[in-house]
Structure formats: C-alpha cells, structure tokens
Amino acid sequence: MATIHFVLQGKGGVGKSFIASLLVQYYKLKEFIVHAIDTDPVNNTLAGYKEFDVSVLPIMKDTNIDARMFDSLMETALGLPDDAHLVIDNGASSFIPLCSYLLENDAINLLQAEGHTVVLHSIVTGGQGIQDTVNGLAALANHFPQANLVVWLNPKDGEIALDGLRFYDFKVYEDHGSQFHAVIELPNRNSTTFGKDLSDHLARRQSFEAAIHSSQPVMVRRRLAKYWDDVVTIMDTANLLLGRGA
C-alpha cells in the first residue's frame, strides 16, 4: 500500500522542513504519487514550496492545539492509493501533541494493519542543539519501536560530535541502533560557497530542479546540482523505497 513519512523532532530550527522537502522531491524524482501535509501551527515552511501543492492542516483552536484535527490526517493516510507517499512535516510545538495522539490512538499499528508502511524521520544536528535532538530521537525510538526509524544527521550547525564521540558512539545508537532503518549523513560542504548557495536556495522555497534550471549564475546552479545529486545518491543508498514501492 502507501508509505507515510512523519518528520518529527522536538527541537526547532533543525531542518525538519528541509528534510520533508527532500523527501517530496526524491519520491517525485522516482515517479511516485506524492502528497504532503504541513502541520506546523507556527511556521508553514513546507507549504511555502508552491511547486509541491502542500496541504495545511489547521490544528490550532483558539490558542490551543486541537488533537482531534489529527483525525483528518489519519483519514488521508488510510485512503492513499497503492505506492503513494505521504510526507508530513510537523512543527516543534506540535511534536508532543502529535506523538501523544499517535500513541493514544495506536495510530501506527492501525496504519500498518491496513498494509501501509510508516516511517519516522528524525534529525540530529551539531552545535548547541545536539543534546536536545539526541533526546528527541531517543524518545521516538522508545515510544515507537514498531515503526521504521530514519535518522538524518544535519551538520548545518556544526560537527555532530559530543564529548569527543561521533554519532555511532552515542548511547542512543548503542541502545537503539537496531531500530534505525537508515542513518543519512547530509553532505557537509564549504560554508562560503555551497553553504551560502544552499541557504539562499532554502529561503526561496524552490525545488532543486527549478533552481538548477533557473537564471541564477552558472556556478551557483552547478553547486546546487552537485549537492542535489549527492543527496539523491545518499538517499538511494539508504534504501528509502520501502514497502510495495521498493
């Protein structure tokens, strides 16, 4: 049946919407039917990508998150056609409400019982956010042992290392490494060239395909093309074509 991707992390500003956009672009490149939903009640970043035709799920009622709104998310997921992919971008402020909803309603087991594949994508960053993102990853691994878990290592804020240890030496990997379907290490490029181009690219809310064929300077387009090619190769190696779409 379909594959449902939840992009989840309790820390803000770690690249959740970026990862969600990569998933949308990757599965479109592989010629799958792709749907995307933005559930972030604060910043609808993924919905800013007009090329992706992203649906916005309004989960706020007055000043509170209405967990019942996630019912419509489940209806959409359960009704997906065979081999479709649904990418759900979730905000930091709705991380706990959505995780609580999935747990309380046994939602992942329901989706799997209907033949769907469920993938939880979590991001670990370097810099000041490293411990928070590791804790968020550990929480997902503890609460959802039945789901496929994909870890994205995003070096945008610095090296992903803690007390001299690399990610594969972290306790979270020691305790839960067997649950990780894949660990994806995003490319770490020169910040003054690739890094600047990528930052500007993300601000434009534009697909890599559109940027590569835009009127930007040739070397900018070339660097963005190189970055996208590298990411696709990494995602291919991670075997992200799960379920019947594999």
Per-residue pLDDT, 240:
85
pLDDT bracket for residue 244 (50, 70, 90):
very low
Reported as a single tens digit per residue, the pLDDT across 51-74 is 999 999 999 888 889 999 999 999
Give the predicted TM-score (pTM) of the model.
0.95
* Helices 95-104/70-78 angle, 10° precision: 60
| Average pLDDT score over the chain | 94
Average pLDDT of span 222-241: 94
Which residues contact residue 70 at a Cβ distance below 8 angstroms, ignoring those fewer than 6 apart? 39, 57, 59, 97, 98, 101
Q: Which residues of 147-179 are buried (b: 16+ CB within 10 A; e: fewer)?
A: bbbbbbbbbbbeebeeeeeebeebebbeebeeb
Q: In this prediction, what percent of the chain has a pLDDT beyond 90? A: 86
Per-residue pLDDT, 75:
96
pLDDT bracket for residue 243 (50, 70, 90):
low
Kindly list the structural domains of the chain, giving each domain's residue range(s) and its CATH number in brackets, ordered by start.
3-187 (3.40.50.300)
Average pLDDT of span 22-30: 97
Q: Indicate whether 143 pLDDT > 90.
A: yes
What span, in angstroms and rounded, lies between the C-alpha atoms of 236 and 246?
Answer: 11
